[in-house]
Each structure stands twice: as structure tokens, then as C-alpha cells.
Amino acid sequence: MKETAFTTRPMSGRTRLRDTSSNSTDPGIWSKMRPKRRRAPTSPLELASRKTDEEFINDYLQPSSSEKSPWVSAWTHPRTGTEYSISLVQASRVSEDDFAVCFRLIEETSRKDYENSSWRWHPEKKLKEMRSPDLRYVLVKEKDTGLVRGFTSLMPTYEEGQPVIYCYEIHLQSELRGTGLGALLMAIHSTVGANLPPVTKVMLTCFLSNQRGLAFYKRLGFEKDDISPGPRKLRHGKIFTPDYVIMSKPVRSDMVQSVSES
């Protein structure tokens, strides 16, 4: 069955929220014998990354204003009446079967775009990226079969110093296309961002060859972000034009004017 992909994102350039502190000197045998204590979170984004799925839903997926969609755990196909479940799961808790289905969705919908881009298709790197512990998956499963039919993944992180909610992936099978489910999943990203200061925007990367995806994001209000790279001249005078675009959208309507004025 043919699937539809909207976006996909490599890990390069990502600022991870995991604890990277280390001791540069030997503190001695007595210090080594003491049990290690986990460092307390130092930022709201790091705190978010350490929350359980239940805590994450309670703290960040309840609407902070009437313009945001509430979290829903069930969805019904508007044309077929088929029922689906929606769940949020940390990457480390995604089952091997569900993980394999998510990877196949990416491969079947985006491999061609990767192969035709400067990034190329590297399945091992993609699999490693998908298991990043700071990622959260939103899985859409058919209730009767329990099979994953679509998903999106997100991460509160920093992009060139900016606190953002990054949409890493969103992929739907063809029977879920044009049903409003894609917009519902993208609204989850915005709701998390609106409830997690200092985040001000949702960000994503899309191949320029993915015209359907670009049109989808533009309909939702995404625009090219200022950090999206433009054409640049190489050493021998050749012009290199990126084959992808970085897009973003303010998480609240009251931010739109301030962004446009900046």
C-alpha cells in the first residue's frame, strides 16, 4: 500500500538535552565509592525531556488557550468510520514491532527523497536517530489490529540557540490522507510549545522535492525560517542551492505580530 510522508529530519546540528557533564580530573577513590547522583534539570526543556509520558501529557498537552486543541486518545476516520487509538510514547518505550513499522513508513515514503538529495539514504543513521531518548512518538494505531498506521515524533530542543519544538517526522498511510489527521498531529506540536516557555515556535525540515508536504505546511501557517540556508558560492565559483527548507510557525497567535516585526 502506498503511504504519504510529509517531513523527515536528520540529527545533524541538533542540540541534545541529555546531561553531557563529565569529570575532567580523578576525584579519588572515596569519591568513586559514593553513589552517583543525577544532575537536576537546568532548563525547562531539559525538565520536559525527563518527564514520564503521563506527566508530559498532563503538563504540556492540555490547551493553554481556546485556540489550542486538547489531547485526544482516540480518533475516527471521517469516511470509513474506522477507529484508531492515539498514544504518546518515549522513544525508549516504543516496542520493537511498532518501531519497525515506523521505520518502514519512513523508508517507503521518504527514501526516494533522501536518495535524490545531498543527504543520501543511510538507514543505520536514521535508525539511530529514531531511538534518540529525547524523542516522543505520537502513534496512531488501528484499534481492531493494533497496527501503527501513522505517527509523528517531536523533541523540545535548541536549534541554533533557539528553544523550539522540532517535528522530526510525520508519516501517514494513504487511507489516512486528507482526513484532517495530519493537521491534528501537527496541532500537538503547537500545543506542547504553547505550554512550554520559553519555546516560541514549532520547527521542521522538508525536502523541496516534497511538494505535497510543503503545501500542507503552508496551509497550516508554516513559513521559511530565518535560519533556513540559502544558495551559497563554493570555492570554484559554483553556486550550491540547498535541496531542503527549514520552516517554522509561532506556537501562539499573539507571537505572529512580534515575529513579523523582528
**Residue 1: what pLDDT?**
39
Q: Report if residue 213 sits inside a domain.
A: no
pLDDT at 162 over 90: yes
Q: Report if residue 114 sits inside a domain.
A: yes
**What dihedral angle (degrees, nearest 10) is formed by the CA atoms of 129, 132, 137, 139?**
60
Residue 155 backbone dihedrals phi, psi, to 5 degrees: -150, 125
| Long-range contacts, stretch 47-51, CB < 8 angstroms, 24+ apart | 48/156, 48/196, 49/17, 49/18, 49/133, 49/134, 49/155, 49/156
pLDDT at 8 over 70: no
pLDDT digits (tens, 9 = 90+) for 12-62: 444 444 333 333 333 333 333 444 455 556 799 999 999 999 999 999 998
Percent of the chain with pLDDT over 90: 69
Burial of 39 (0-12, 13-18, 19+ CB in 10 A): exposed
Cell 498532563 found at: 58
pLDDT at 128 over 50: yes
pLDDT digits (tens, 9 = 90+) for 207-246: 999 999 999 999 999 999 999 999 887 777 788 789 999 9
Instruction: Name the nearest CA neighbour of 60 among 250, 188, 203.
Output: 188
Q: Report if residue 210 sits inside a domain.
A: no
Q: Is 189 helix (H, G, I), strand (E, B) or coil?
A: helix
Q: Report if residue 102 sits inside a domain.
A: yes
Q: Report if residue 107 sits inside a domain.
A: yes
Number of domains comprising the chain: 1
Q: Report if residue 209 sits inside a domain.
A: no
pTM: 0.81
Domain assignment of residue 166, given as a range: 3-9+43-200
**Residue 30: what pLDDT?**
32
- Return the CA Rg of the chain: 20
CATH of the domain at 52: 3.40.630.30
State the CB neighbour count (10 A cutoff) for residue 68: 20
Is there a contact between 194 and 68 (Cβ–Cβ < 8 Å)?
Answer: yes
